[in-house]
Structure 1
Amino acid sequence: MMLAGAQIVDSGSVAYRHNNGESVVPPLPTLPAPAQAPGPSSIAPVQMQGLARVPTKEAVDIQFSNITCTVKLGINKGYKQILHGVSGRLRPRQLIAIMGPSGAGKSTLLDVLSGYRTTGVGGAVFINGRGRNMKRFKRMSCYIQQDDRLQGLLTVGENMMVAADLKLPTKLDRYEKGEVIEDILTNLGLYEHMNTRASQLSGGQRKRLSIALELINNPLIMFLDEPTTGLDSSSCSQVVQLCRSLAHQGRTIVCTVHQPSASLFALFDHVYVLAAGRCLYQGTTRNLVPYLDQAGIPCPIYHNPADYIIELASGEYGEDKLTLLTTKAENGRALEWFEHPDSIPSMEGLRKQYPLSLLKEEDSHNGDEETSQSNQRSVLIKRGFMKAKRDSTMTHLRLMVNVVVGIMLGALFINAGNEGSRVLENYNLLFAILMHHMMSPMMLTILTFPSEMSVLSKEHFNRWYSLGSYYISITIVDLPVSIVSCFIFSVIVYTMSSQPLDIVRFLMFFAISLYTVLVAQSVGLMIGAVFNVVNGTFLGPTLSVPMMMFAGFGVTLRDLPSYLYWGSYVSYLRYGLEGFIGAIYGLERPILDCNQALYCHYRYPRQFLEEVAMSPDMFWWDVLALTVAVVVFRTAAFVLLKFKLSAMR
């Protein structure tokens, strides 16, 4: 029997079908304030009519058994067990809340159930009575993480169209995809923000857009990590009402929630409470109060049951209460507090209901609907160019920096290229150009790519595209920007410093410049893929120092000790500097003018080449070496990126 004053109004409702077969969710009732609340709730419920596209497949029943998770604390710091053999059942057409205090293991359990975390995990997860096939499971599920990982430079409509192009079958035309997008955005209250950039949305709108993007391919299972964090009470209510409506249309939706208000708690159909990696309760929200009453730990009058169970889980009433509740809940195995527990099908019954022949048919059908690699690359390249056009850092600032630095270097070394008395100054200019081509692209990539990693990990995990398609697209998109910015810089510096006006020499100079930029970007990509911004900004310049040491500037190649000479072969700056020297002073360049001094020691280019111990005939070998460096570093960056995505899980 429920305690008076601690009663919670049942918010459950089930979907029904009209005679035409269309699934409809009844309008949500207005929820009165719980009797124990000190005052009436100020949150007005949002009327959700439900999406037109209801799931076409049967809802999914998820069962997990004896789930453990152990994480490594660090080098020589041992391991910590987060989950201690928890079990549970996630019924279809339910909005399920995983609750618990900070550190209870809510997000870890969600990571394990969604398949996002696989390292250090034990136990078993069953889908409709059978062991989970991860490939099939990912096709029917999505994971929306706590931070809203969106493409901020794209509008709501553009984000949705990109998602539709990547996730819907290519046989659908633009108008059919538009209908899907319009239906989702209208129901989520985002249609009037179609032309608003994602970076300009409010917190609640960003959260709803994150959900909208995953609804494109109509998933049967949705996992949301702390969807109400950082939102005001009205936005929280809207998001939870939305999830509730989606669940009652035939989806299984699981959310982690830290400490909901009484009215918000009442919107959930089912709750799973964790404390220190163990289950204290699982069942309907309306059964929580009688459960605590039967356990001998009744919820006080005028107390929010959600707050009270969190207080219990935090150990505020003693560790013995935790042990008592864990035992009573059988660490998640007890199902008696579910709604109609006697009608819950067994594992054997689920296997009969979903035979293997049906799964085989679904797999073949889903395989036909998956978009091809070429379509993925096409969509990602199109998205990349849209972002590049609007990106003030990677595009606009990058072009501006190349213009400004080009003018500064050109003014500092004006007319140094043709004067015999200023050959050493010109040599310094060539090395300064190399420093610019090395540091600017590398540091820019190190600073910006880690922020892109969060979006990549979400989209890649939710099967928007393959990692190979993404990597090829960012390489292609960045190439025109690199070529244009490098060409502008080269024209400014080359002409202002009065280098020889020969188209062949200029093209050689430009080719070496571009190759150096591409190698530096590849190095930055390697560092940015593995390290965060703080560590990357330290590591990037640190690794650049040996590259400069072995380039042949300051210490000529002939003066390098024999035990360090190997460094000149791995320094791409050596090949860049040697290529510059070949372009400017090679090709049998004639004697230089000597107008600014009585004696010009290096007016004969051959004499200067002998002094710096560089051959003028090595240009094509330098180009080949830089080409190899680009391929090796780009491949290494891809491997490291793949490793980092795996390590994150």
Structure 2
Amino acid sequence: MVSKDILKGITGVFQPGTLTAIMGASGAGKTTMLNAIAGESAGGFIEGEILVNGAEVGVDTMRRISAFVFQDDQLMASMTVREAIQMSADLRLPKGMTKEEKAERVKHVIEILHLEKCSNTRIGSPTAKGGISGGERKRCAIGMELITNPSILFLDEPTTGLDTFMAFSVVDTLRQLAAAGRTVVATIHQPSSDTFHCFDNLLVLANGEIMYQGKAAEMVDYFGELGLRCPPYVNPADHLFMNVLNDVEMEEDGDKAGLLARTTRLLEHYNGSAQVDSMLKSTTKAVEFNVNDLELRPGILSQMSTLYARSMKNVVRNPMIARAKLAQALVLGSIVALIYHDLGRYQIDIQARTGALFFFAMNMVMNAFSMLSAFAQEKIVFEREQALGMYSVMSYFIPKVFSELPHNIIFPTVQACIVYWSLKLKNDAATFGLFLVVHLLNTNAGNGLGIFIASIFSDLRITLIAAPPLILPLMIFSGFFINTNSIPPYFNWIKYISPMKYAFEAYALLEFRLTGDQVLKQLGADGDLKIYQNILCLIALWLGTHIFAFFALRRLVSRRFASGSAASNPVRLTCAQRKESNEDGESQRARCQRQR
């Protein structure tokens, strides 16, 4: 296996009460460095130390005293800004806090992030109209993390996808948060001049090493003394990317060796300078910091209640999904009714009757495919929130399943009523009741199967490719295409895990018992299983598919990166107990403007 060093012996300091920008060319290691420090690395091997107030801390401790805002905002589109932040408060704040105290905290966060105007607006999605703007969306994501009152705030590319003004607005907000005593660290890619001057400190990475760390305002003079002067009226960030980290003339001349040699010289100059020692000596050691104690968070029942309420709101606020499922039930039911209506009870009608019953058993496949595509989208939000430690897998999974039940009961019932009486199946209320029970269990087993398949793969495209080979064998060996007693031994096991097999067999027993023994024999449904035994098998598969789906979700989120042993090159990080700022937003902006 080929290994690659991304970060190479870096030593840095992030001061409390300051906003530090991590900048560098693409591939320099900015995000890797931020993830490594914040404990969000998803792979690789890290050696080093993370020191907070001079003491080494592990990943768990770092996550308790910090918050992390990812580059891509994965938020539930149907929620309002206030509801999203309130949900974060309900899931993450100590269970001893009253509802009023949590609501006051939410109100305070909304105010300091200037989200009052859009607090009751639905978040929406980047591709849909009617939601909040990109800048508001980013500040909402920050607010969900800020609700825990963290001492350290990490952000990965917080200005991605924003226009110049929105980018400045977000960074200006971060500047105010840092001024209140927090340690704020953000990776950023080529900010505007106004945005750049809002940063207190700057850390420049090149080839996985630090090329500069110090005051952002002193960066131009530092590189100017090394022969790389910034032209007048040029954005310092543009100068850094165009003339320091890269060089247009060298690129045009194809002088890659010269550019590499210059980069090496700048890295060696920084590492050999007295700036590193003075930086470490200037570290401010804080006496205490805020700890987000996970043991004080609400219990699993409170988490389930909060997430169930969110799931039901999501169902109610997405009427198009309900309409689509209703249309699917009506259309498919009507098609079956029109094709197979008014079936007789002669020998010639047996094929049509069994075909109609199998078509009805196939509803499991329809539900599985519709569920896996829908859940694959929601799973992205789940993975993000779970990675941030907002709730456990069980707290999410059980409310999710129960919130899907109304749709999975109402619409299949409508479909069954259309088909059963149109086909003139047995005109008996008890038989119809058993038919409906089988149909509901089969449909909900498909729901669990869809969640299970969607949870196995992280990419929706792979999920859609892998789903047919996983589902089609369940259909083939259900008893319609081949007699279940004639299945080859090496495939025989598949029929025992096929909900369609038990549903189709139960339908056949309900329809052909007493009068159609020969038909049951042809279908292989004349075995030892009775109707109620098929129903019990469907219940077992309904529970089984959901249990497998649960463990697949757990497996998906359990692949966490374990850091390696400590080495001699520490990554130093300091944080301070946050202090309330006496400055309002206007004075903060004024100070930011003065520093320009």
* TM-score between both structures, scaled by the size of structure 1: 0.78
Cα shift readout 1:267-308 (whole Å, capped 9, x = no counterpart): 001111112222111111012123213434333344322222
Name the structure 1 match of 2:262.
321
Name the structure 1 match of 2:41.
117
Cα shift readout 1:333-392 (whole Å, capped 9, x = no counterpart): 953675xx65425xxxx4xx65xxx79xx77x9356311111001100011000011224
The equivalent position to 1:483 in structure 2, one of 396, 400, 409, is: 409
Distance 2:222 2:416 in 1: 75
Distance 1:184 1:331 in 2: 43
Pair 1:511-2:445 in alignment: no
Pair 1:172-2:113 in alignment: no
For the 8 Å contact 1:291–1:337, the answer to whether it is kept is no
* CA gap 1:561/1:455 in 2 versus in 1, 3 angstroms: closer
Name the structure 1 match of 2:327.
400
The CA deviation at 1:118 is 4.6
1:413-562 alignment, distance < 5 Å: 413-416=340-343, 421-435=348-362, 437-529=363-455, 530-562=457-489
Task: Name the amino acid aligned to 2:467.
Answer: G
Cα shift readout 1:455-502 (whole Å, capped 9, x = no counterpart): 112211222111221111111211222111221111111111111122
Task: Name the amino acid aligned to 2:394.
Answer: G
1:621-640 alignment, distance < 5 Å: 621-640=533-552
The equivalent position to 2:5 in structure 1, one of 68, 71, 81, is: 81
Higher strand share: 1
For the 8 Å contact 2:66–2:152, the answer to whether it is kept is yes
The equivalent position to 1:305 in structure 2, one of 231, 236, 241, is: 236
- Equivalent residue of 2:12, what SS? strand
For the 8 Å contact 1:418–1:500, the answer to whether it is kept is no
- Equivalent residue of 1:121, what SS? coil
For the 8 Å contact 1:280–1:331, the answer to whether it is kept is no
Structure 1 portions without partners, runs of 5+: 1-75, 589-603
* CA gap 1:450/1:328 in 2 versus in 1, 3 angstroms: farther
Higher helix share: 2
The CA deviation at 1:106 is 1.3
Task: Name the amino acid aligned to 1:642.
Answer: R
The CA deviation at 1:119 is 2.4
The equivalent position to 2:517 in structure 1, one of 606, 611, 615, is: 606
Distance 2:275 2:353 in 1: 80
For the 8 Å contact 1:289–1:299, the answer to whether it is kept is yes
Distance 1:333 1:455 in 2: 46
- Equivalent residue of 1:81, what SS? coil
Structure 2 portions without partners, runs of 5+: 125-130, 251-258, 562-596
Distance 2:153 2:179 in 1: 13
For the 8 Å contact 2:435–2:507, the answer to whether it is kept is yes
Cα shift readout 1:237-272 (whole Å, capped 9, x = no counterpart): 110010000011111111111101222111001111
- Equivalent residue of 1:198, what SS? coil
1:184-333 alignment, distance < 5 Å: 184-199=109-124, 200-311=131-242, 312-314=244-246, 318-330=259-271
The CA deviation at 1:578 is 1.0
RMSD: 2.5
Pair 1:619-2:531 in alignment: yes
Name the structure 1 match of 2:276.
335
Distance 1:192 1:115 in 2: 34
For the 8 Å contact 2:12–2:213, the answer to whether it is kept is yes
Distance 2:4 2:326 in 1: 49
The equivalent position to 2:86 in structure 1, one of 145, 151, 161, is: 161
Distance 1:636 1:234 in 2: 48
Task: Name the amino acid aligned to 1:498.
Answer: K
* CA gap 1:367/1:210 in 2 versus in 1, 3 angstroms: closer
For the 8 Å contact 1:442–1:540, the answer to whether it is kept is no
Name the structure 2 match of 1:33.
none
Distance 2:266 2:311 in 1: 52
The CA deviation at 1:164 is 2.0
Pair 1:94-2:5 in alignment: no
* CA gap 1:457/1:612 in 2 versus in 1, 3 angstroms: closer
Pair 1:344-2:263 in alignment: no
Cα shift readout 1:89-113 (whole Å, capped 9, x = no counterpart): 1111111111111121212222212
Name the structure 2 match of 1:137.
62
* CA gap 1:108/1:418 in 2 versus in 1, 3 angstroms: farther
